[in-house]
Amino acid sequence: MHTPASMVMGIVFAPLGLVLVFTAAITPQWREGQTRLGMTGQGSFLRSGMKGRKMGIRSGSAEALLLLRTDGLWESCLQVEHSELKQCWPVAGPYQRDPRVRLAQGLVLTSLFLGGTGIVLACIGVRCWTDLPLRGVAATGGLLVVMAGMLSLTALGVYTHNLRRLGIADPSQGISNPRFPHLSLRPAGSLYFGWLGACLQVLGGSALLFSFKRPRCSTCPSYRDLPVCPACRSCPDITKSDTDVYEVSC
């Protein structure tokens, strides 16, 4: 079977983009911030977690710990740098209730559903086990993949544009939690995975959309009046009645 290059490109890029978007969705590194926290006052809640652990931190340097706070769509984490002390929890509070976060969650979930459905349709449309692909089915799958990529791009755009204001009543005051000091928030690794995956989905789905265009059929070199399609890769069979048979005797 001769599979069009657009189908091959789409069937490779679309699943890869879906995997990257899914990876971004389940990881808690959409934004991150660092701050130094003293062991007295605000840092007292870390003492219980550090008791009984060999952190390798000198008593002099323990007065100012470097904390790394990360937030995702469904999980947040807090980690002490250069140590194994890390705690993660489901998103809660103002961040969870922020309508922009909830919008990003809904768009990403819808994108994953449409992307998976589109890839299934594309695989059925390509039909590697037959000679001719189902072009309409493959192109429909490509349309769903493009829609999934656009939804992911929208979710990522909304989150990135409002990254420093999500779950914060006053952006100048940082995260509105008295237990944490001011954090300087910035984009994290999961956002980049999401952007790359969404772009691959749009690219792969657009390639599958070219499946609507049927290949132009050429003609058989020996029989100009008989059409032949490149997907068949051979001329139509010539019946025996069209040829003359001669008996030769020695």
Q: Report the Cα–Cα distance between both ends of the chain, in Å, rounded.
A: 44
The whole-angstrom separation of Cα 191 and Cα 31 is 8
Instruction: Provide mean pLDDT across the span 80-95.
Output: 84
More confident residue, 36 or 121: 121
The whole-angstrom separation of Cα 47 and Cα 65 is 11
Structural domain boundaries in the chain = 5-212
Instruction: Provide mean pLDDT across the span 216-220.
Output: 51
The β-bridge relationship of strands 227-228 and 218-219 is antiparallel
**What average pLDDT does the chain have?**
76
Instruction: Provide mean pLDDT across the span 109-114.
Output: 96
More confident residue, 214 or 110: 110
Residue 60: pLDDT over 70: no
The whole-angstrom separation of Cα 178 and Cα 169 is 13
Residues with Cβ within 8 Å of 160's Cβ and at least 6 positions away in sequence, in order, are 187, 191
Strand partners, 79: 68, 86
**Residue 76: strand, helix, or coil:** strand
Under the banding of pLDDT at 50, 70 and 90, the label for residue 79 is confident
More confident residue, 21 or 41: 21
More confident residue, 15 or 48: 15
Q: What is the per-residue pLDDT for 230?
A: 46
Phi-psi map region of 95: left, alpha, beta (phi>0 left; psi -120 to 50 alpha): alpha
Residue 11: pLDDT over 60: yes
**Residue 227: strand, helix, or coil:** strand
Amino acid making up residue 198: A
**Residue 127: strand, helix, or coil:** coil
pTM over 0.95: no
Under the banding of pLDDT at 50, 70 and 90, the label for residue 37 is low
Q: What is the per-residue pLDDT for 80?
A: 84
Poorest-pLDDT segment among 51-65, 201-215, 233-247: 233-247
Helix (H) or strand (E) holding 26: helix 5-26
Q: What is the per-residue pLDDT for 244?
A: 44
Instruction: Provide mean pLDDT across the span 196-202.
Output: 96
The whole-angstrom separation of Cα 30 and Cα 174 is 16
pLDDT digit string (tens) for 133-188?
788 888 899 999 999 999 999 999 999 999 888 877 654 444 545 444 566 788 98
Instruction: Provide mean pLDDT across the span 39-68.
Output: 52
> How large is the C-alpha radius of gyration of the chain?
29
Residue 74: pLDDT over 80: yes
* Percent of the chain's residues with pLDDT above 90: 36
Picking from 194, 155, 206, the residue whose alpha carbon sits closest to that of residue 22 is 194
Domain 5-212 CATH class label: mainly alpha
Q: What is the per-residue pLDDT for 112?
A: 96
* Percent of the chain's residues with pLDDT above 70: 64
Enter the DSSP assignment of 123.
Answer: H
Q: Are 80 and 65 in contact (CB under 8 A)?
A: yes
Residue 220, token pair as written in the block: 């058989």
Under the banding of pLDDT at 50, 70 and 90, the label for residue 73 is very high
What's phi and psi for 45, nearest 5 deg? -70, -15
